[in-house]
């Protein structure tokens, strides 16, 4: 086989493996996004209070927290691949059960199972992709995972829009009333069941990809690792070089323990990873995605069915601007994208908050939300996942990344659970006219921007093993901030 032919085969193999693993991101987006459209209707069906609504929406996120922590053990014990297969099975069970629920407890249990799947997939999928991707393309390849997440959101927004009745603008009032009654009684169930098809496809396709070579070497399965590396590198020499580099990294790294995790170098990397995860959530992205239909319906004056249509704008902008990150994360770098996006998020949230505070809601409010979504899609969304997947050494990657991802899901749950309470609070309604949550989110954007500017090192272009050396050599805040 010629060198050019081998190189093409290698690229196709990596792309196939990445695409299959990234389907975990699509299910992540679909499973977390389906709640945005369905919660308008099941909240009315069950007659939930604000606290019960918050629990119904956020219950899956506590499952995500447990799934991320469990995923740290599973990705190391049974492999990245088998962890994703288990997650795919749980996605299917959750989709079926959520649509069958007749009580809050039943709904919460099946949503928690889906959360376990999301937590496992959100850890295992980007980890798997990072471990098979060439260093100079790793940012872009891992960003495909975030692209799949936003595709999942867009597809589920599209699905809930059509399941909810499609364009309702010219419907007669009595027809609209019948449609709404159908959605309250049955439509939200179909929205959950629509996830079954991608979940089953993900489950089956995972059996067509190999294990991560780094996991195989962790388990002493050298020949299998050689075989996989031969398929994902451009030459025998490159495969041999990468094999030797990984083996040297593992040989020079002591067995992971808690003291190592919280030591100077790796401990600081873990601190950065946890804080990046927290900032991704407390800046408000999932509050707006989960409660987008309610925001459009209540704050911005759209009807429930028409609010589903407005969500398509969120999904489309999210998708379009993710491509900016994919094509620029390896050339511009992680930090410039994060900082620039944080500024855009701050502007969008501030303008949205001001239009609600002054009760001047309209097209400017919608544009402000879209600026926020677009800025997030080109920055915090993909960049945090890229950095989490590449910043931890081989021997502690599973455990360290699971802690960082668990922090992400914990704060995701806290934001989702508290948003209805803050939004409906007397303080918010009486003193801020409903704008308080958006001002809070905007303030966190400023904190996140300063944090990354001052403390987070640039990681573009480095091999995973070079990243390991970075934390060993640079173990002080002062040194790291100069990178």
End-to-end CA distance of the chain: 42
Instruction: Give the CA distances from residue 164 to residues 2, 57, 111, 256, 376, in Å, rounded to whole numbers and listed in that order.
Output: 54, 19, 21, 50, 27
pLDDT at 121: 92
pLDDT at 316: 82
CA distance 282 to 274: 12
Q: Is 47 exposed, middle or buried (0-12, 13-18, 19+ CB in 10 A)?
A: exposed
Q: Tell me the whole-structure pTM to 2 decimals.
A: 0.75
What ranges do the domains of the chain cover?
Answer: 3-251+258-481
Which DSSP state fits 432? Answer: S
pLDDT at 251: 73
pLDDT at 478: 44
pLDDT at 209: 94
Tell me, which fold does domain 3-251+258-481 have in CATH?
Answer: Growth Hormone; Chain: A; (1.20.1250)
- What is the chain's pLDDT, residue by residue, as a tens digit (483 residues)? 455 555 567 788 888 999 999 999 999 889 878 887 788 789 889 998 878 887 888 888 889 889 988 988 899 899 999 999 999 999 999 999 999 999 999 999 999 999 999 989 988 998 899 888 887 777 788 888 878 888 888 888 888 888 877 766 677 888 888 888 988 899 999 999 999 999 999 999 999 999 999 899 988 899 999 998 888 887 788 888 888 888 887 776 655 555 556 666 678 888 999 999 999 999 988 788 766 666 665 555 555 555 566 667 777 888 888 888 888 887 787 888 999 999 999 999 999 999 989 988 778 888 898 899 999 989 988 888 888 877 877 667 778 888 888 898 889 888 877 888 888 889 988 899 888 999 999 999 999 999 999 888 877 766 666 666 666 655 444 444 444
pLDDT at 252: 66
Sequential DSSP letters for 332-358 = T-HHHHHHHHHHHHHHHHHHHHHHHHT
Which DSSP state fits 396? Answer: G
pLDDT at 91: 96
Instruction: Give the CA distances from residue 395 to residues 97, 260, 275, 401, 468, in Å, rounded to whole numbers and listed in that order.
Output: 37, 11, 21, 11, 10
pLDDT at 262: 63
pLDDT at 477: 44
CA distance 240 to 245: 9
pLDDT at 263: 60
Which DSSP state fits 284? Answer: S
Extract the tokens encoding 312: 């398509």
Sequential DSSP letters for 441-455 = HHHHHHHHHHHHHHH
**Whether the Cβ atoms of residue 182 and residue 39 lie closer than 8 Å to each other:** no
pLDDT at 476: 45
């Amino acid at each position: 086989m010629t060198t050019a032919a081998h190189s093409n085969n290698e690229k196709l193999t990596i792309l196939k493996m990445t695409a299959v693993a990234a389907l975990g991101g699509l299910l992540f987006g679909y499973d977390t996004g389906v709640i945005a459209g369905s919660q308008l209707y099941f909240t009315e069906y069950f007659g939930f209070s604000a606290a019960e609504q918050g629990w119904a929406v956020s219950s899956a996120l506590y499952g995500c927290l447990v799934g991320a922590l469990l995923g740290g053990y599973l990705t190391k014990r049974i492999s990245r691949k088998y962890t994703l297969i288990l997650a795919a099975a749980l996605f299917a069970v959750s989709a079926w059960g959520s649509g069958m629920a007749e009580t809050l407890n039943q709904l919460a249990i099946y949503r928690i199972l889906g959360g376990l799947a999301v937590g496992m997939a959100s850890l295992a999928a980007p980890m798997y992709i990072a471990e098979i991707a060439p260093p100079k393309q790793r940012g872009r390849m891992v960003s495909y995972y975030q692209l799949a997440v936003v595709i999942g959101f867009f597809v589920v927004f599209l699905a809930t829009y059509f399941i909810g009745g499609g364009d309702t603008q010219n419907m007669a009032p009595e027809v609209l009333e019948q449609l709404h009654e159908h959605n309250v009684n049955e439509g939200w169930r179909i929205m959950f069941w629509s996830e079954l098809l991608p979940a089953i496809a993900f489950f089956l396709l995972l059996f067509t990809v190999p294990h991560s070579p780094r996991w195989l070497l962790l388990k002493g399965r050298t020949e299998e690792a050689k075989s996989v590396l031969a398929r994902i590198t451009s030459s025998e020499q490159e495969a041999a070089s990468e094999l030797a580099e990984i083996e040297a990294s593992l040989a020079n790294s002591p067995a992971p323990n808690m003291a190592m995790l919280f030591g100077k170098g790796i401990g600081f990397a873990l601190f950065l990873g946890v804080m990046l995860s927290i900032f991704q959530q407390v800046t408000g992205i999932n509050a707006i995605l989960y409660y987008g239909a309610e925001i459009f319906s209540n704050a911005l004056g759209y009807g429930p069915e028409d609010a589903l249509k407005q969500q398509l704008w969120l999904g489309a902008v999210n998708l379009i601007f993710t491509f900016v990150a994919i094509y620029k994360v390896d050339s511009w770098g992680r930090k410039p994208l994060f900082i620039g996006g944080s500024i855009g998020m701050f502007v969008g949230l501030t303008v949205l908050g001001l239009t609600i505070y002054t009760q001047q809601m309209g097209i400017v409010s919608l544009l402000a939300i879209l600026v926020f979504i677009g800025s997030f899609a080109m920055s915090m969304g993909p960049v945090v996942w890229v950095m989490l997947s590449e910043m931890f050494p081989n021997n502690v990657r599973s455990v360290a990344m699971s802690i960082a991802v668990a922090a992400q899901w914990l704060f995701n749950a806290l934001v989702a659970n508290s948003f209805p309470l803050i939004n409906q609070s007397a303080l918010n309604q009486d003193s801020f006219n409903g704008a308080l949550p958006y001002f809070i989110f905007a303030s966190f954007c400023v904190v996140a921007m300063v944090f990354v500017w001052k403390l987070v090192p640039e990681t573009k272009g480095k091999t995973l093993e070079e990243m390991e050396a970075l934390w060993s050599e640079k173990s002080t805040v002062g040194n790291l901030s100069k990178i």
